[in-house]
Amino acid sequence: MRSAGIDIGSRTIELMVLKDDEIIETKKADSGFDPMAQARKILDGVEHDHIMATGYGRHLFELSFETPTITEIKAYAVGARFLFPEVRTILDIGGQDSKAIALNDKGRVTKFEMNDRCAAGTGKFLEIMAQTLGYTIDQFGEDALNAQKEIQVSSMCTVFAESEVTSLLAKGENRRDIALALHRSVVRRAAGMLKRVTITDAVLFAGGVALNPCMVQILREVTGRKIVVPDNPQMLGALGAALIASG
């Protein structure tokens, strides 16, 4: 039996197909201005017996495709349990939201915190700051690791932070140092969420921002915990949805 999970995020759509709990296919596409059209494209030619949707656009997917859905929180919990059964804490930082999730020893959600009201502390914030400093998103984290000086960026509001970065550049501050300060500001916000759900042992770091090496390093330093990053951290929600679809 083939089960599929589709995670329709605000920025990207991820699809995973399992056969007897073995991953046999993955796909990814930008959500674009018409996520359902993108979902149809990503599903074209994909064989599956059951499908489960999760993510930002799951309700629209349910209406368009008449399929069941699951919350991101539940999907992440199931995906984390499958990959790392010993992990009890999950941090997801995606394009438009971030979440911290605590699990019990059976993999069930006991508490979660979510930021989905503004771009602060999300991938979108880092993306805008990278552009302001003249980096690609891939260069941003790498270069921040080479910073030589600790400086502070006080604002987490994207608009005000962008203005603050411009002022720091005008004062002659090195963009690597500014980049590090911006990463630290995002980690501080994430660490606060983790503290509120209670960190136990390792933290599973998921979402596109988990691909940023500077974020991983600072998160490790700030929390004092082992940071576990899946091979494809953006696929955790789709994996969980596929596992649930398999029954």
Domains of the chain, first to last: 1-84+232-247 (3.30.420.40), 86-229 (3.30.420.40)
Using pLDDT thresholds of 50, 70 and 90, give the confidence band for residue 24. Answer: very high
Of 52-66, 99-113, 159-173, the poorest mean pLDDT is in 159-173
Whether 169 has a pLDDT exceeding 80, the answer reads: yes
pLDDT given for residue 162 in this prediction: 86
Helix residue spans in 153-246 (DSSP H): 158-170, 175-197, 213-223, 236-245
pLDDT given for residue 117 in this prediction: 61
Q: Which one of 122-131, 190-199, 200-209, 236-245 scores highest in mean pLDDT?
A: 236-245
- Average pLDDT score over residue span 155-168: 84
Laid out side by side, the sheet with 2-8 consists of: 22-30, 12-19, 2-8, 50-54
User: What is the full DSSP assignment across 62-119?
Assistant: HHHH---B--HHHHHHHHHHHH-TT--EEEEE-SS-EEEEEE-TTS-EEEEEEE-SSS
d(CA 13, CA 31): 6
- How much of the chain exceeds pLDDT 70, in percent? 98
- Average pLDDT score over residue span 59-76: 94
The pTM (predicted TM-score) of the whole model is: 0.92
Q: How would you classify the pairing of strands 203-206 and 227-228? A: parallel
d(CA 222, CA 151): 16
Question: 160 CB contacts (<8 Å, ≥6 apart)?
Answer: none
Asked if 53 and 241 touch (Cβ cutoff 8 Å), the reply is yes
d(CA 64, CA 36): 8
Laid out side by side, the sheet with 98-103 consists of: 109-115, 98-103, 89-93, 203-206, 227-228
Mean pLDDT of the chain: 93
pLDDT given for residue 119 in this prediction: 66
pLDDT given for residue 199 in this prediction: 87
pLDDT given for residue 116 in this prediction: 60
Q: What Å distances lie between residue 119 and 35, 58, 96, 128, 216, CA to CA?
A: 20, 20, 6, 10, 19
pLDDT given for residue 111 in this prediction: 96
